[in-house]
Structure 1
Amino acid sequence: MAGAAPEAGPVRSAAGVLLPRALRAWLCPVAALAALAVVALGVRYAGHSEPGRVDRWIVRPTADSVRPPWRHVALALDFLGEPAGSAMVIVACAAGCLLLRRPRAAALVVVGSGLTVGTTTLLKHLVGRTIHGPGNLSYPSGHTAFFTALALMAALLATGRLGLGRAAGASLVLMAALVAGATMGWAEVGLGAHYPTDALGGWCTALAVVPATAWLIDRTADRTAARRSDVAQRAPR
């Protein structure tokens, strides 16, 4: 009928979406390739206890690869990936998201970080690569994965909040991941805690896990909003 109000439906706020459609088509293939790289590297170095050819070509990690004052920077970065440091970072970031009224973002920080670290922990036991003796599982680097995941999540939130297009958003996300992964990778390799390929594996793990987690949270939130809207429309007035 002319003049009738349009039928109401669930409204998806662009500001609340974690993985904008413009980025989804780009990040999904990247996440898939990253997952394949994690598996390939894991198969290649399964059960190894020495640096591979690529590791020796880049640098052979030793306990004093990084000396003061840069060693203090590396130790500070390393602390951020430890249980106490990462817990503080996650709580602070999640609280900030809630203060900004971004519940999806808070969920991404908690769930995305947890899944990223959990995935690296599981892979370490499956791959069994060690450094500095038995028991020191090294592949993939959980520190690198966690720090990269934080940067990816921050970049995704900034992309949505600033309303960036595909090119600008993709550039921001990729640059954030590269800088974060290289920074923590440098710290972990310099401190002798990981081989370079461990850091690469951790970086790829974050690239595979975070976009998938963001998509799942968006999908779950959208379905919940749709059900609530449907219930509200059917309720007697």
Structure 2
Amino acid sequence: MALDTDTRPAPAVLPTPLRTCIASIAVLAALVVIALGAMYAGHSEPGTVDRWFVEPTADSVRSPWRGVALAVDFLGEPVGAAALILVAVAGCLLRRRTRAAVFVVAGVGVTVVTATLLKSLVGRTIHGPDNLSYPSGHTAFLTAFALIVALLAVGRLGFGRALGTLLVLAAGLVAGATMGWAQVALGAHYPTDVLGGWCTALTVVPATAWLIDRTADRRRPTGQPEPR
């Protein structure tokens, strides 16, 4: 039985044409997360790459850019994040796309939980021993949200592999770069924390999408066509 409430087969949240490319990118992203985590485990100072960016920008932005950075940062805070999720879930449910709504909640939820667990595991800090920084949870969240919305849009519009993959990656890059800039500019994270958060989302979101599709497809009655 499909997860959607209408009688049509529920569309896959990870479009079939994109699966191979997105899976390959997810594996590469996971390797980056692991490599950076091992490199900066237990550190409390910026690394060489971080110093290229962090000193001229960390906590030094002035109005009006500081206001922009704070507004972007708010999207990763509990209230801002909850608002984005509620809007996306409501849109999915209005279109009777329960599987997509589940993907929104599960995709961002698993990504944030993974980032939180990695912070404790890696133990990198910034501005004191209690401020765990790797990977950036704010960056992971907004990147995950953008990837999820892009995947659903690509599947809905029926784009092919090349264009679909490009659009999904572009959405993730724009969201990650925007939140990453805000986090570095406000002094909340090192640039490599931001990269780790971005790659965490690139790893977790496709895996979550695949798991949701696999679970839902197993419930589909025998003989019902696979969703395109």
Q: TM-score normalized by structure 2?
A: 0.91
Deviation, 1:63, is 5.3
User: Residue 127 of structure 2 is aligned with which of 125, 129, 132?
Assistant: 132
Q: Confirm or deny: 8 A CA contact 1:113 1:149 kept in the other structure.
A: yes
Residue pairs, 1:120-199, within 5 angstroms:
120-199=115-194
Kept in 2, the 8 Å contact 1:61–1:189? The answer is no
| 2-structure distance, mates of 1:65, 1:100 | 44
Q: Deviations over 1:137-192 (max 9, x none)?
A: 00000000000001100110111111100111011011111111100000000000
* SS of equivalent to 1:81: coil
Structure 1 residues 228, 168: CA separation in 2 closer, same or farther (over 3 Å shift)?
A: closer
Deviations 1:87-142 (A, max 9, x none): 22212211111111111110011001110000000000000000001100000000
Q: Provide structure 2 residue ranges, at least 5 long, that are not aligned to the other structure.
A: 1-6
Q: Is residue 61–residue 191 contact of structure 1 (8 Å, CA) maintained in 2?
A: no
Give the corresponding residue for 1:27: 22
Q: 3-state DSSP class of the match of 2:59? A: coil
Instruction: Within 5 Å, give how 1:28-107 maps onto structure 2.
Output: 28-60=23-55, 64-107=59-102
* 1:213 partner amino acid: T
- The percent identity for this pair of structures is 71
* Distance in 2 between residues matched to 1:90 and 1:64, nearest whole Å: 28
Are positions 1:114 and 2:99 aligned together?
Answer: no
Verify the 8 A CA contact 2:58 2:184 in the aligned structure 1.
Answer: no
Distance between the aligned counterparts of 2:66 and 2:89, measured in 1?
Answer: 29
Task: Name the aligned partner's letter for residue 50 of structure 1.
Answer: E
Amino acid at match of 1:42: G
Q: Per the alignment, in what secondary structure is the counterpart of residue 84 of structure 1? A: helix
Distance in 2 (alpha carbons) for counterparts of 1:89 and 1:71: 22
Greater Rg over alpha carbons, structure? 1
**TM-score of the pair, normalised by structure 1:** 0.88
Measure the CA separation in 1 of the matches of 2:83 and 2:183: 20
Q: Which amino acid aligns with 2:141?
A: F
Would you say how many aligned residue pairs link Structure 1 and Structure 2? Answer: 218
Q: 1:87 to 1:228 in 2, by over 3 A?
A: farther
State the shift of 1:58 in Å. 2.6
Q: SS state of the match for residue 75, structure 2?
A: helix
In 2: Cα distance, 1:79 partner to 1:221 partner:
34
Would you say 1:217 and 2:224 are equivalent positions?
no
